[in-house]
Amino acid sequence: MLQLNVKNETARLRAVVLGTATSNGPTPTLEEAYDPKSLEHIKAGTYPVERDMVNEMEAFNKVFQKYDVKVFRPEIIQDYNQIFTRDIGFVIDDKFIKANILPDRDRELDAIHEVLDQINPQNIISAPEEVHFEGGDVMLWNDYVFIGTYKRPDYKSHITARTNKEGVEFIRDLFPNKKVLSFDLVKSKVEPRDNALHLDCCFQPVGLDKAIIYKGGFYDEAEYSELVKIFGMENLFHIEREEMYHMFSNVFSISPDVVVSEKNFTRLNQWLRNNNFTVEEIPYAEIAKQEGLLRCSTLPLIRD
Ligand SMILES: NC(=O)NCCC[C@H](N)C(=O)O
């Protein structure tokens, strides 16, 4: 049995699900794209190829081996995108919450039954159909749960809005002792630079008291200011629109002082080193073309 335990984004990682790029399928058609960055690369003829993405995920896997983290991989579904395992479910404390994910992606959850079979069924939670959330929008910070959402009435018309207000309420009811804060995110179907697909595309804590943040990802400045109040301006690394497009906020913490990052994120990696983090740099620029990066590719099961 797996004793699930996740309470924040940075405590020492012991077990994780890492997605897979094997049998990712052919380049999607323009109609099949469900995020604007993939759309941009399909149009430009620069959509990533499977071999490159498999190599990038292997580099990520090697870092986990180096730190002795137990890694689970999904069972392969033929010709199906299973890279972004973050979104299909998430652990809060000792509960595994199955996400009600975008219908285009709903087969991804079946592929981690090896993991689900090792969890006490009493600790596995499913939500009613109208409750939407994806793990990229759910971020744990000890007593807090931060949730990215889209609150405006045209929610249904945005394929990039994945967590609704019912999703926020569901988590709030499930964890009455946590302070649940929600953040309305900017969305665009056609311009990835104006699309915070999930909360982890514009914000993520690192270390014990720091965070990476893109102010322009927040629709409501007052909600951005709540994070400034919690972390303190001096502890925030602010990224620019182009850096959010490259997914600077989507690095991944193995511990409070070890962060896995993309090798081209020079400005961020320097800031991390200046703040005494060990930065494990790997190539991930091909996978980044699908509007997801390192946090998106992982589903932590056990942290200290
Ligand atoms: N947590 C994340 O931001 N996940 C990235 C998911 C990218 C994928 N192309 C999607 O649109 O679902």
Q: pLDDT tens digits for 18-76?
A: 999 999 999 999 999 999 999 999 999 999 999 999 999 999 999 999 999 999 999 99
The answer to the question of residue 226 being in a domain is yes
- Is residue 189 within 8 Å of residue 234, measured between CB atoms? no
The answer to the question of residue 5 being in a domain is no
Query: Is the pTM above the cut of 0.90?
Result: yes
- The parts of the chain modelled with pLDDT lower than 50 are none
State how many domains the chain has.
1
Determine which residue's CA is closest to atom 11 belonging to ligand 1: 35
Mapping DSSP to helix (H, G, I), strand (E, B) and coil, where does residue 171 land?
helix
Can you say whether residue 25 is alpha, beta or left, with left for phi > 0 and alpha for psi between -120 and 50 degrees?
Answer: left
Q: Among 88, 197, 203, 297, which is best to mutate for testing ligand 1, by the most ligand atoms less than 8 A from CB?
A: 197
The answer to the question of residue 242 being in a domain is yes
Ligand 1 site, CB within 6 A: 34-35, 38, 84, 86-87, 136, 197-198, 200-201, 290-292, 296
Q: Among 296, 297, 298, 299, which is best to mutate for testing ligand 1, by the most ligand atoms less than 8 A from CB?
A: 296
Q: Which of 191, 33, 195 is nearest to 104 (CA)?
A: 33
The answer to the question of residue 6 being in a domain is no
The answer to the question of residue 97 being in a domain is yes
Position 158 scores a pLDDT of 87
Q: In this structure, what DSSP letter does residue 112 have?
A: G
Q: Which domain holds residue 146?
A: 13-303
Q: Among 290, 294, 297, 298, which is best to mutate for testing ligand 1, by the most ligand atoms less than 8 A from CB?
A: 290
Determine which residue's CA is closest to atom 6 belonging to ligand 1: 292
Centre of ligand 1 to C-alpha 292, Å, is 5
Centre of ligand 1 to C-alpha 137, Å, is 10
The answer to the question of residue 2 being in a domain is no
Determine which residue's CA is closest to atom 1 belonging to ligand 1: 136
The answer to the question of residue 8 being in a domain is no
Q: Which of 256, 216, 260, 213 is nearest to 238 (CA)?
A: 213
- Is residue 155 within 8 Å of residue 131, measured between CB atoms? no
CATH of the domain at 60: 3.75.10.10
Position 52 scores a pLDDT of 98
Q: Which two tokens stand for residue 282?
A: 């790997």
The answer to the question of residue 222 being in a domain is yes
Say how many C-beta atoms besides its own lie within 10 A of residue 216's C-beta: 17
ipTM: 0.94
Centre of ligand 1 to C-alpha 193, Å, is 14
Residue 129, judged by CB atoms within 10 A of its CB (0-12, 13-18, 19+), counts as exposed
Centre of ligand 1 to C-alpha 226, Å, is 25
